[in-house]
Amino acid sequence: MISELSKGHNLLKYIIEHSNGGVAVHDKDLNYIYVSRHYLEQYKVQDKNVIGKHHYDVFPDLPQKWRDVHKRALKGEILSNDCDPYQRADGSIEWTRWECRPWYETDGTIGGIVVYTEIITKQKNEKDELEKRLKELSAIYALSQNIQRSITLDILSNELARSLESILNYDYFAFLLIDENTGKMYPFTLSDQGKGHEFLKKDMDYVASCQPAVGKGITGWVAINGKSLKIDDVTKDERYFGLRNGIKSELCVPLKIDDKVIGVINVETTKPAAYNEYDINLLETLSASIAISIRNTELFESNQKEITLRKKTEEELRLKIKELEDFFKLTVGRELKMIELKTEINELLKQLGKKEKYEV
């Protein structure tokens, strides 16, 4: 009998120890009875010889919420969580999926608890990244639709500032266009930093007063070279020309129409190394759509001005023709009156036996 029990114990120990999942079996005093290697590895337990040791001696910094779960399970509850944060001793956060349930003696009393656990930090990060990308793609699609409907440059600039804020991680955003005559760059639109329209107007004046120009600073380098720049620490880049305090990271891409740089899109943040290659591709894709929209908007405004000018010219022509017609009517009327008077005079002279004075 003892041999059979020993054999069963060893078999269960072997099965659990080599399980692909994180499994720990505790007695009612929370001492380890069985534990899987995977459990010890994923929780980075240095001393693998934990059998017989109390769970809180192995994990002395275990949060109170886990201790409360153990107490409830020892009273018969089955508890679980599909995505629960776990803070390690070094302060890093892991995400776990777990279940804690009681196990029972042959007489039906609770003998301890079983903990099934898995670290899902990688899956959680991948899911978060996918959701982030989905949100970005949705925002990009919405931006593309909105900028295509922007029929004036003012509407377009407002739409850009509003939409890009939901896509990119930035503290400051600037969209600068190049003045071909002077080589200077002027702010087409900026982020209002959550401070409203009046602040934005003053900030536009401030940026313009700093005289950004082709070849000056990061934005000027991108403008003259037509290549994107991602700077992880601007304080270490000699090209940086700062307009804001505390900036660490900067991402700037050129705005091109038919390979001609017409401006730049620039984002900055106080966080170091905030941007990656994906962000560059994202902003470059957006800049292509924005450039097309600017060209279409400028063409639309140009056509509108042409239409307005033509309508104005047509109206002026109509008024001049009317004026001429009125003058002609007046002149013809005078001529007819003169003929009538001359005829009457001639008739009177004839009655007097005199010679007619006027040829009619």
Quick one: 143 and 252 in the same domain? Answer: yes
Stretch 50-76: mean pLDDT: 93
Where helices occur in the chain by DSSP H, the ranges are 2-17, 37-42, 55-58, 64-74, 121-148, 153-165, 197-209, 217-225, 277-351
User: What is the C-alpha to C-alpha distance for residues 243 and 65, in angstroms, rounded to an integer?
Assistant: 47
pLDDT at 24: 95
Stretch 201-223: mean pLDDT: 91
pLDDT at 149: 59
pLDDT at 197: 80
Report which of residues 144 and 205 the model is more confident about: 205
Residue 341, pLDDT above cutoff 60: yes
| Residue finishing a domain among 61, 92, 119 | 119
Residue whose tokens read 């939409």: 163
Quick one: 98 and 19 in the same domain? Answer: yes
Q: How large a percentage of the chain has pLDDT more than 70?
A: 76
pLDDT at 162: 65
- Given pLDDT bands bounded at 50, 70 and 90, which one contains residue 44? confident
In tens, the pLDDT along 282-297 reads 888 878 777 777 776 6
Q: What is the mean pLDDT of the chain?
A: 82
How many other C-beta atoms lie within 10 A of the C-beta of residue 275?
22
Stretch 50-58: mean pLDDT: 94
How many other C-beta atoms lie within 10 A of the C-beta of residue 87?
11
Instruction: Say how many residues make up the chain.
Output: 360
CB 175 within 8 A of CB 157: yes
Q: Is 136 within the bounds of a domain?
A: yes
**What separation, in Å, do the N-terminal and C-terminal C-alpha atoms of the chain show?**
153
Q: Is 164 within the bounds of a domain?
A: yes
φ/ψ of 299, rounded to 5, equals -65, -40
Residue 152, pLDDT above cutoff 70: no
Quick one: 149 and 208 in the same domain? Answer: yes
Strands 249-257 and 229-231: antiparallel
Quick one: 35 and 176 in the same domain? Answer: no
- Given pLDDT bands bounded at 50, 70 and 90, which one contains residue 325? low
Coil, strand, or helix at residue 78? Answer: coil
| Residue finishing a domain among 303, 322, 346 | 303
What does the CA dihedral 205, 222, 192, 138 come to, rounded to 10 degrees?
Answer: 150
Range with lowest mean pLDDT among 16-20, 101-105, 147-151, 292-296: 147-151
Quick one: 295 and 234 in the same domain? Answer: yes
CB 49 within 8 A of CB 69: no
Quick one: 298 and 236 in the same domain? Answer: yes
- Given pLDDT bands bounded at 50, 70 and 90, which one contains residue 194? confident
Residue 252, pLDDT above cutoff 80: yes
Q: Is 283 within the bounds of a domain?
A: yes
CB 265 within 8 A of CB 253: yes
CATH number for 160: 3.30.450.40
Q: Is 237 within the bounds of a domain?
A: yes
φ/ψ of 331, rounded to 5, equals -65, -45
pLDDT at 305: 58
In tens, the pLDDT along 302-319 reads 544 554 665 676 676 677
Stretch 254-264: mean pLDDT: 88
Q: Is 359 within the bounds of a domain?
A: no
Q: Is 293 within the bounds of a domain?
A: yes
Stretch 275-287: mean pLDDT: 84
pLDDT at 98: 94
Coil, strand, or helix at residue 181? Answer: coil
Cα distances (angstroms) measured from residue 58 to each of 2, 32, 342: 30, 10, 132
CATH number for 39: 3.30.450.20
Report the run of H or E that residue 113 belongs to, with start and end. Answer: strand 110-119
Report which of residues 2 and 313 the model is more confident about: 313
Residue 3, pLDDT above cutoff 80: no
Range with lowest mean pLDDT among 6-15, 28-37, 70-79, 175-184: 6-15
Report which of residues 198 and 320 the model is more confident about: 198
Candidates 103, 94, 99, 59; CA nearest to 82 is: 99
pLDDT at 314: 60
In tens, the pLDDT along 233-246 reads 999 999 998 888 88
Residue 254, pLDDT above cutoff 80: yes
Stretch 264-285: mean pLDDT: 88
In tens, the pLDDT along 76-113 reads 999 999 999 987 777 788 899 999 999 999 899 999 99
pLDDT at 299: 47
CB hemisphere CA count around 194 (13 angstroms): 4
160 lies in which domain range? 125-303
pLDDT at 224: 93
Is pTM, for the whole model, over 0.85?
Answer: no
CB 176 within 8 A of CB 255: no
